[in-house]
Amino acid sequence: MKRREDIRNVAIIAHVDHGKTTLVNEMLKQSDTLDSHTEISDRAMDSNDIEKERGITILSKNTAVKYGDKQINILDTPGHADFGGEVERIMKMVDGVLLVVDAFEGTMPQTRFVLKKALEQHLTPIVVINKIDRQGARPEEVVDEVLDLFIELGADEDQLDFPVIYASAVNGTTSMDPDPSTQEHTMDPIFKTILDTIPAPVDNSDEPLQFQVAMLDYNDFVGRIGIGRVFRGKIKVGDQVTVMKLDGSQQNFRVTKLFGFMGLNQVEIQEAKAGDLIAVSGMEEINVGETVCPVDHPDALPLLRIDPPTLQMTFMQSDSPFVGKDGDKVTARKIEDRLRKQLHTDVSLKVEDTDSPDAWTVSGRGELHLSILIEELRREGFELAVSRPKVIYREIDGKLSEPFEAVTIDTPDEYTGSIIDSLAQRKGEMKNMEPNGNGQTRLEFSVPTRGLIGYDSQFLSMTRGYGILNHTFDEYKPVIRNWEPGRRNGALVSINQGKATTYAIMGVEGRGTIFVDPGTEVYEGMIVGKSSRERDISVNVTKGKNLTNVRAAAKDQTATIKTPEHLTLEESMEFLNEDELLEVTPNHLRLRKRILNTNAREKAAKRDKRAKQ
């Protein structure tokens, strides 16, 4: 079998924050790719603003490095399970993976998730133990953990014989020895191991073309761009080809442009052949998983399988009294068009119509997946309202089932009791408890996804920010009956519209935690705080102080209030109850009741109570 020895295709996979993107940066810097005067920023592969701010990779990125006369195509994949749709498709495009594992943390939930996907595709693995210089690093133990994980996931004998490289990506050093003193400022061990270990692509470029789209991009000049791998044959600019659509139909088009990848750039090319990773433009309606073939030889590759969504929310046009004050995209048509556009590039997302013409059910892989979509919309000038996230139930073997997550927690020993207790209340089942030494314990649980909605903020306050919580979708299990998690406390709800005053907030803050600052515009039905009781309390936070002629010296200067609590987007989503919505605008996040009018809301609550009896 002839192979293309000039290239290698490899994906970098890891748990979130184990250093993949930093490692790719160093490989770019230390290869023969960039000119000596090219400046490269930290984590240059994370090009999206939200990626840079949160320090996570959301979309897979292609790059290619030159090493001598060889080209190594590298795909940097997301480590977070919510973007698993990206990871699965990337595995189809490569012949091997670099599994990056933190020398201190060891194997984590997403390490298992991404490695499982790689082993299912029978890819050749190389293990990089990163952060070797970190205090408390335990490289030899971590290699044993990785080996155990390979065995547990059913790796074959060849896959179990993986090479191990020790690295400090942030310092740009590597070594084949676990002793940190042997580290040298070079990436050569990684490059050489890739060339020696990862199989070169099969060269069957004399056969009919097969190119499969694994990712999508969009460009205002050339329209939609399909990114993928040439599995067979050749493709040239100007070729007449056919797309084998997902529904079984065929559509002909002419290839208008081809792009290859080099360093951080897309480079225009005239021709590509078997083994190349390229981008193709010219087809208006190309989708992920579709195959491009010659017109006279239609032969589709197997479709790409993607795990289905597990969480859904309702997105709707906002009917807030303040609608249109902040954003310029507020109509149902604009919101729907934007959601449909997201489907072009995000295969893990699903958008469905509801009974209402201005509301849609949006399903995704988790809270982070959906919150990043909401964040993108607000940055683009949209105003909308969203409901509480709900899990998606499924009928499996005649039983109603719900998604469960594998949860791994690293925490100081003193918080273990309260964590175990809190997750037991959320129907979590403890699978393992292991002291890590240094006063730390690792806890492993299986928890229903709906039990984890709203848990992150409780966990952070419970562990005073010292705990680390990771979770990833595990499996569907029969539904736990007669249990509904949710917020225990009621809300403080405004009864009128106006500006919040210090005087009014002082009168209300004894009833709970306040969310608004003095001077904040509020409206009737808007949630201005969390009640200290289980029921909602209607409050007036706009009341002004009655002015009199009598003034006590320095009396007004002593009026101070507690610092209000400002919820993030994720915290706001987690706070919601069934009868509440989150109003999202470019500059504000406002929690509100679905029914804004106080009297109408109280009547509806009484009706619901009677119906339940």
**pLDDT 10s digits, 468-477:** 887 777 889 9
Nearest-angstrom CA–CA distance, 505 and 542: 8
User: In this predicted structure, what is the pLDDT of residue 585?
Assistant: 93
The CATH number for 491-548+555-576+591-612, chosen from 2.40.110.10, 2.40.50.250, 1.10.3720.10, 1.10.30.50, is: 2.40.50.250
User: What does each C-alpha distance from 133 to 118, 167, 175, 180, 563 come to in angstroms?
Assistant: 28, 8, 12, 6, 40
Nearest-angstrom CA–CA distance, 241 and 272: 14
The pair of three-digit structure tokens given for residue 41, joined into one six-digit string: 């920023």
Q: pTM, whole model, 2 decimals?
A: 0.74
- The residue whose two tokens read 């090219």 is 38
User: In this predicted structure, what is the pLDDT of residue 439?
Assistant: 82
Read off the amino acid at residue 424.
Answer: A
Neighbours of 608 (CB within 10 A): 12
The domain limits of the chain are: 7-197, 210-294, 311-391, 394-478, 491-548+555-576+591-612
What DSSP character marks residue 349?
-
Task: Tell me whether domains 210-294 and 394-478 share a fold.
Answer: no
User: In this predicted structure, what is the pLDDT of residue 372?
Assistant: 85
pLDDT grade for 57, boundaries at 50, 70 and 90: very low
CB proximity list for 397: less than 8 A, separation 6 or greater: none
CB proximity list for 185: less than 8 A, separation 6 or greater: 171, 172, 173
**pLDDT 10s digits, 569-608:** 888 888 888 889 999 999 999 999 999 988 888 888 888 7
Q: Give yes or no for residue 344 having a pLDDT over 80.
A: no
pLDDT grade for 336, boundaries at 50, 70 and 90: very high
Q: Which residues are annotated as a binding site?
A: 17-22, 130-133
CATH of domain 7-197: 3.40.50.300
Q: Give yes or no for residue 60 having a pLDDT over 50.
A: no
User: In this predicted structure, what is the pLDDT of residue 386?
Assistant: 94
The CATH number for 311-391, chosen from 3.30.70.870, 3.40.50.2300, 3.40.350.10, 3.30.420.40, is: 3.30.70.870
CATH topology of domain 394-478: Alpha-Beta Plaits (3.30.70)
What DSSP character marks residue 355?
S
Pairing state between β 491-494 and 537-539: parallel
**pLDDT 10s digits, 85-112:** 567 778 888 999 999 998 888 887 677 7
Q: Output 558 or 408, whichever has higher pLDDT.
A: 408
Residue in 313, 452, 329, 319 with CA at minimum distance from that of residue 371:
313
Q: Specify whether the CB–CB gap between 383 and 330 falls below 8 A.
A: yes
Nearest-angstrom CA–CA distance, 532 and 511: 6
The pair of three-digit structure tokens given for residue 403, joined into one six-digit string: 């998604």
Pairing state between β 210-219 and 173-175: unpaired
Nearest-angstrom CA–CA distance, 471 and 474: 9
pLDDT grade for 196, boundaries at 50, 70 and 90: very high
User: In this predicted structure, what is the pLDDT of residue 548?
Assistant: 58
**pLDDT 10s digits, 140-152:** 999 999 999 899 8
Average model confidence (pLDDT) across the chain:
83
The pair of three-digit structure tokens given for residue 13, joined into one six-digit string: 């996979």
Nearest-angstrom CA–CA distance, 526 and 377: 22
**pLDDT 10s digits, 526-576:** 999 999 888 889 999 988 876 655 555 445 444 577 888 888 888 888 888
**pLDDT 10s digits, 2-56:** 888 889 999 888 876 677 778 877 887 776 654 443 444 443 443 445 544 444 4
User: What does each C-alpha distance from 112 to 56, 108, 147, 244, 477 come to in angstroms?
Assistant: 18, 7, 12, 33, 20
Q: Which residues are annotated as a binding site for GTP?
A: 17-22, 130-133
User: In this predicted structure, what is the pLDDT of residue 48?
Assistant: 45
Q: Give yes or no for residue 340 having a pLDDT over 50.
A: yes
Q: Specify whether the CB–CB gap between 175 and 196 falls below 8 A.
A: no
Q: Output 186 or 59, whichever has higher pLDDT.
A: 186
CATH of domain 210-294: 2.40.30.10
Nearest-angstrom CA–CA distance, 139 and 159: 20
**pLDDT 10s digits, 484-534:** 777 778 899 999 999 999 989 888 888 989 999 999 999 999 999 999 888
With both helix axes pointing from N to C terminus, report the angle between 139-152 and 109-120 in degrees, rounded to the nearest 10. 50
Q: How far is CA 22 from the centre of its chain?
A: 18
pLDDT grade for 163, boundaries at 50, 70 and 90: very high
User: In this predicted structure, what is the pLDDT of residue 493?
Assistant: 92
The beta strand positions in 425-546, using DSSP E, are 429-437, 440-448, 468-478, 491-494, 498-499, 512-514, 521-522, 527-531, 537-539
Q: Give yes or no for residue 138 having a pLDDT over 50.
A: yes
User: In this predicted structure, what is the pLDDT of residue 82?
Assistant: 52
Pairing state between β 240-244 and 291-294: antiparallel
With H, G, I as helix, E, B as strand and everything else as coil, classify residue 351: strand
User: In this predicted structure, what is the pLDDT of residue 284?
Assistant: 72
CB proximity list for 244: less than 8 A, separation 6 or greater: 250, 290, 291, 292, 293, 298, 299, 300
